[in-house]
Chain A
Amino acid sequence: MDICITGYQNRVATLLETATELRLYSLEGLRVVRSGMTAMPTAGACILPTYLKSMGVEIVICGGLSKAVQDGFEALGIQVISWVKGPIEVVLTAYLEDKLDTMIMPGRTNRNAF
């Protein structure tokens, strides 16, 4: 399974729209077997659902995102875990250990269940 964490300077970008990099991880069970990084497409967040779908991404972990983009991901069957904060490596570990609920920005709730 492939996941993407939208980043800014080694942490999860505050908003999906302000991310500068996309960290990509291929998982086998709870093990990362491959990782990579690509830049945010210049066309912006609107194009991200189709862009990540074409890369085979199934789960996106990000900060805040607008309803329109969230709907776009859901329409393509990509699960979104939103309002996540923290350093990317810590967030990845938390995801693998099923502890992402401890990494949610204050006052927010992830709109999708973990």
Chain B
Amino acid sequence: MKRAGLPKNISLESVVDSVAEGIFTVDLDWNITFFNQAAAQITNISPVEAVGQKCWEVFASSLCDGACPMQPCLKNGKSVLNKSGFILGADGEKIPIGMSSSPLKDKDGVVIGGVESFRDLSSLHQLMLKVEERYSVEDIRTNNAHMIRMLQILPPIAQSTSTVLLLGESGTGKELFARAIHNQSMRKEKPFVAVNCGALPGNLLESELFGYKAGAFTDARKDKPGRLELAQGGTLFLDEIGDMPLPLQVKLLRVLQEKTYEPLGSVAPIQADVRFVAATNRDLETMVSEGTFRQDLFFRLNVVRIDIPPLRERTEDITLLTNHFIRQQNSLKGKNINAVSERVHHVLFQYDFPGNVRELENIIEYAFILCPGKMIEMAHLPEHLKPQIREQHTPCDYAIPTDAAGMAQHKHHAVLQALDKHNGNKSAAARELGISRDTIRRILKRHEAK
């Protein structure tokens, strides 16, 4: 029988280098012996740097310590298929990957090493995250010092059983925080149930929250579980709690105090094993003083209070979030947009973002529809951003120098501004500008030399 094989003028290495999956091989001492081009692209490490090094030092995945798929290959000659984990990019971003390993054998069948193939699952991961909404603390992206401090206390808060009150303008990410708290808590395997208290009229909200028994009212033909019951063992997120009608506030207070409630039409109390996270964009303290929000309920909810600042007060996050949303949209839409133009960057920095992070996300999503190339330009922004630019700024505010000297001056000015803003902290300034510390050093050095 004729054996299939490569034509003599085509090397196996060139074939392996042309596939989209990352592939590398190791010897029995875990030293990398081959690293293909896709592996280099996904890990951002060149084959020259990788070959000869221990695989865990190059690959640096979440599976390397303790769950290495290559181990059964080298020890027992067994293949391992479709394990998932992540590697870390140089910027500290997690890149989800799927990987498989197989032993490499010589012509006598003796194991002489292993081969690992892996692929970037970022697109799939983004899609899953959107669908399942299993957000973690690490999905809250920020460079803002106040937010970073807040994120530090989020894990212990999540681990506690305390009620949490999230305050912040619309679009600041209150539900993201609520989900991160749930997913970091002991209740993470149980349901996370969200109710928007402002979306339903009082009587409907009551039956939605507490459920009802058959015959409780006309059309109640059979029992319907409430959100409280659906959230049993887990977390109930009460969004827009400030919009809850006063009579319902009394009923909710009782659940918080006594941990029991009765569905409509029922006489038997039900135990509520639920952790409450509430959120609002309204000023509850003022509402209490005006008598539109119960003081006792406010005190019950205000055990752990988290104030999420609006995006206009954390402009250092605009670049970070813009890049994040570009990456996210690239994954979801299958595009390859690299960045926003300098002019768009300026516009975003000047904009107030009344809709906060959600509005920025929408702006990027809109720009993705119109942007055919690799760079989001002014023409791709929503119209409402354009008049504001004309009204608030003279054209020279956005004049981007085109000559090399002018551009160098412009960069130097931007670096000085960022350093000033962050009290000379180069790491923070670099993050804000979306460049490395080395680039900052180079720009400063170049200017000193003049």
Residue from A14, A20, A65, A111 within 8 A of B427 (CB atoms): A111
B184 CB → nearest A CB, Å: 7
Q: List residues of chain B with CB within 8 A of the CB of A20.
A: 65-66
Q: List residues of chain B with CB within 8 A of the CB of A15.
A: 60-62, 64-65, 88
**A81-111 vs B, Cβ < 8 Å mask (1 yes, 0 no):** 0000100000000000000000001111101
**Interchain CB contact under 8 A, A19 and B65:** yes
**Interchain CB contact under 8 A, B91 and A71:** no
**Interchain CB contact under 8 A, A49 and B152:** yes
Task: Report the bound CA distance from A108 to B53 in whole Å.
Answer: 13
Q: Is B397 an interface residue (CB 8 A)?
A: no
**Interchain CB contact under 8 A, A66 and B427:** no
Task: Report the bound CA distance from A109 to B33 in whole Å.
Answer: 23
**Interchain CB contact under 8 A, B88 and A65:** yes
**Interchain CB contact under 8 A, A63 and B149:** no
Q: Is B49 an interface residue (CB 8 A)?
A: yes
With A106-B50, A107-B49 known as contacts, the answer to whether A75 contacts B145 (CB < 8 A) is yes
Considering only CB atoms and an 8 Å cut-off, how many residues of chain B contact the other chain?
43
How many pairs of residues, A versus B, come closer than 8 Å at their CB atoms? 106
With A64-B88, A106-B57 known as contacts, the answer to whether A71 contacts B65 (CB < 8 A) is no
Q: Is A58 an interface residue (CB 8 A)?
A: no
Residue from B45, B49, B62, B137 within 8 A of A46 (CB atoms): B137
Residue of B nearest to A9 (CB): B65
**Interchain CB contact under 8 A, A46 and B60:** no
Residue from A71, A108, A109 within 8 A of B148 (CB atoms): A71
**Interchain CB contact under 8 A, A107 and B58:** yes
With A47-B155, A50-B153 known as contacts, the answer to whether A18 contacts B58 (CB < 8 A) is no
Q: List residues of chain B with CB within 8 A of the CB of A44.
A: 155
Task: Report the bound CA distance from A67 to B427 in whole Å.
Answer: 12
Q: List residues of chain B with CB within 8 A of the CB of A69.
A: 138
Residue of A nearest to B93 (CB): A67
Q: Which of A47, A66, A71 has the most chain B CB atoms inside 10 A of its CB? A: A71
Q: Is B302 an interface residue (CB 8 A)?
A: no
**A36-76 vs B, Cβ < 8 Å mask (1 yes, 0 no):** 00000001101101100000000000011111111110111
**Interchain CB contact under 8 A, B93 and A71:** no
Task: Report the bound CA distance from A66 to B149 in whole Å.
Answer: 16
Q: Is B94 an interface residue (CB 8 A)?
A: yes
B84 CB → nearest A CB, Å: 15
Residue of A nearest to B40 (CB): A107
Q: Is B156 an interface residue (CB 8 A)?
A: yes
Q: Is B295 an interface residue (CB 8 A)?
A: no
Q: Is B330 an interface residue (CB 8 A)?
A: no
B138 CB → nearest A CB, Å: 4
Q: List residues of chain B with CB within 8 A of the CB of A74.
A: 148, 427
**Interchain CB contact under 8 A, B92 and A65:** yes
State the 7 A-B residue pairs at the shortest beta-carbon distance, nearest first. Answer: A67-B92, A107-B45, A18-B65, A64-B88, A14-B64, A8-B65, A75-B148
Known pairs A14-B56, A18-B65 / 19 extra A-B pairs, C-beta < 8 Å: A9-B65, A14-B57, A14-B60, A15-B60, A15-B61, A43-B155, A43-B156, A46-B155, A49-B152, A50-B152, A65-B92, A68-B140, A71-B143, A72-B148, A75-B149, A85-B57, A105-B58, A107-B43, A109-B90
**30 contacting pairs across A/B (C-beta < 8 A):** A8-B66, A9-B65, A14-B60, A14-B64, A14-B65, A15-B61, A19-B65, A20-B65, A20-B66, A46-B155, A47-B155, A49-B152, A50-B156, A67-B91, A68-B137, A68-B140, A71-B142, A71-B143, A72-B151, A72-B152, A74-B148, A75-B152, A76-B152, A105-B57, A105-B58, A105-B60, A107-B46, A108-B45, A108-B90, A111-B92
